Amino acid sequence: MIRIALPNKGRLAESTRELLERAGLEFDMTHERSLTATLGDDFQALFVRANDIPEFVADGAADLGITGRDLVEESGRPLEVLLDLGFGRCRLAVAVREEDAAGLGALPAGTRVATTFPRLTRRYFDAAGTPVEVVPISGAAEIAPHLGVADVIVDLVSTGSTLRINGLREVATVLDSTALLISLPEVLRRPGSATPVRELVAALESVIRAEGKRYLMANVRRDSLDEVKRILPGISGPTIVDVLDSGEYVAAHAVVDRRDVYRTIAQLKEIGATGILVTQIERLMP
């Protein structure tokens, strides 16, 4: 069995589970709150805190892991990124008190920075050539500037509403983060592991790729095919299928970008298409 460390709760837990299930890996748990589960034929899931996953994988307690890039980079361990999973999007940002933000240039030397990411914070300010004092804390960084514990913070932000509520303003980005599938580099060279791990990566990739696409079908007039080709370019053009007992109409099928669907439908309607149908795609392999 290949052991894969997964977030047991928190922001990444549900999306991780959904993605694995969509890739065809069913969780077989003995209890709802069980600490392990079998996952397909080849994998065993270990449910642990997202923060601990880089260490677990680096120490070999798990062969693979899913966790945030922020946590992987903060760990400083030599981990290999097998796949960017796209969810859990956030950024590690520098934020200052609203009242200090006006007219702020570079931070003055000796600025105290409260953060749960001391390593990344140090690396960022070293690279910027700003000597700061890093104040490591274990959570709720946004309160630190108001308590006089620090002058600024480095914290995770997604919508920015938590910062706003706490009277803070984002002034710089330290790191952009999403959830990653990670391993030690040698896992891919281990006999017995390489094939199932590659199959897992391919399955996850095909699900992620399909998310941004839709399958579109429409009945179009046979004499409008040149226009159809212009509207539905695709890689090798749309698939054209005969419609039984309808000499005048054919069915056009194509994979389109999710963001282009509304525009494509309007253009197809303009050339008299009927029976337009849009469906989700489970997997897409180029």
- Give the sign of the dihedral formed by CA 152, CA 153, CA 154, CA 158: negative
Q: Which is nearer to ligand AMP, 151 or 155 (CB)?
A: 155
Q: Which is nearer to ligand AMP, 69 or 214 (CB)?
A: 69
**One residue of 40, 54, 65, 68 binding ligand AMP per CB under 6 A:** 68
Compute the distance between CA of residue 96 and CA of residue 130 in angstroms, rounded to an integer.
16
Compute the distance between CA of residue 267 and CA of residue 1 in angstroms, rounded to an integer.
51
- Which are the contacts of 222, defined by CB distance < 8 A and separation ≥ 6? 247, 248, 249, 250
Q: Which is nearer to ligand AMP, 14 or 26 (CB)?
A: 14
**One residue of 111, 177, 206, 219 binding ligand AMP per CB under 6 A:** 177
Residues 89/179, Cβ–Cβ less than 8 Å: no
**Strands 2-7 and 43-48: what pairing?**
parallel
Quote the least distance from Cβ 239 to ligand AMP, whole Å: 39
88 is a contact residue toward ligand AMP (CB under 6 A): yes
**One residue of 4, 37, 45, 90 binding ligand AMP per CB under 6 A:** 90
Q: Which is nearer to ligand AMP, 10 or 272 (CB)?
A: 10
Residue nearest to ligand AMP (CB): 68
Compute the distance between CA of residue 80 and CA of residue 60 in angstroms, rounded to an integer.
13
Quote the least distance from Cβ 137 to ligand AMP, whole Å: 14
Reference 117, options 85, 160, 71, 149; nearest CA is: 71
Footprint (CB under 6 A) of ligand AMP, residues 10-39? 10-12
Q: Which residues bind ligand AMP (CB under 6 A)?
A: 7, 10-12, 50, 68, 70-71, 88, 90, 156, 158, 177
